[in-house]
């Protein structure tokens, strides 16, 4: 039995599910999964329950694409998993569905644009880092201790009466940081 199963989500308690619920019921969803959870939250219990309830031939229906995925890559991943399981997908607002060849094409164009955007960002980041290195700027956090301080710390730690924690406190670093710079004492 092919079912249309709806998933609705709002991000905050002051938002209401009524609009999404009404649209999903009007679209013929026989079963609805609803939750109030931030899209940034990876742990969305009702979404997990919804995905477990879907079977081959069913269709997952959402009111809008952003209700399903935390990001475009996340959305693409979810839709790809549905497709592999033989489950259709439909977004009512964007009028995207993956049951037809045209719907799949539209969705995959979105996915390709997402991948293209990620690659552009990566290329720009790499070019920016290379330009900074060419100007003598290396990225990363500045060292907590300079060469003089490391030399002093090594001298202090040679004295068995001085505790590592005391030296660490004196230089305003953790014991772990001391060990990183001077090795096991």
3-state per-residue secondary structure call for 45-107 = HHHHHHHHHCCCCCEEEECCHHHCCCCHHHHHHHHHHHHHCCCEEEECCCCEECCCHHHHHHH
In the numeric block, which tokens belong to residue 29?
């969803």
Catalytic residue (choose from 11, 91, 100, 174): 11
Q: Please give the radius of gyration of the chain, using alpha carbons only, rounded to the nearest integer.
A: 27
CB atoms near residue 38 (< 10 Å): 13
Does residue 38 have an active-site annotation?
no
- Catalytic positions, written as ranges: 11
């Amino acid at each position: 039995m092919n079912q249309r199963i709806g998933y609705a989500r709002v991000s905050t308690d002051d938002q209401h599910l009524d609009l999404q619920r009404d649209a999903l019921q009007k679209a013929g969803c026989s079963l609805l999964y609803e939750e109030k959870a931030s899209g940034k939250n990876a742990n969305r219990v009702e979404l997990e329950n919804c995905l477990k309830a879907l079977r081959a031939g069913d269709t997952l229906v959402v009111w809008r694409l952003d209700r399903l995925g935390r990001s475009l890559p996340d959305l693409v991943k979810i839709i790809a998993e549905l497709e592999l399981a033989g489950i259709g997908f439909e977004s009512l607002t964007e009028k995207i569905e993956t049951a037809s060849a045209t719907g799949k094409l539209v969705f995959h164009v979105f996915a390709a644009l997402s991948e293209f955007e990620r690659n552009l960002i990566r290329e720009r980041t790499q070019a920016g880092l290379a330009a900074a290195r060419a100007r003598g700027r290396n990225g990363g956090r500045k060292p907590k201790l300079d060469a003089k301080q490391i030399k002093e710390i090594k001298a202090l730690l040679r004295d068995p009466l001085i505790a590592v924690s005391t030296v660490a406190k004196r230089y305003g670093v953790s014991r772990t940081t001391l060990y990183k710079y001077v090795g096991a004492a």
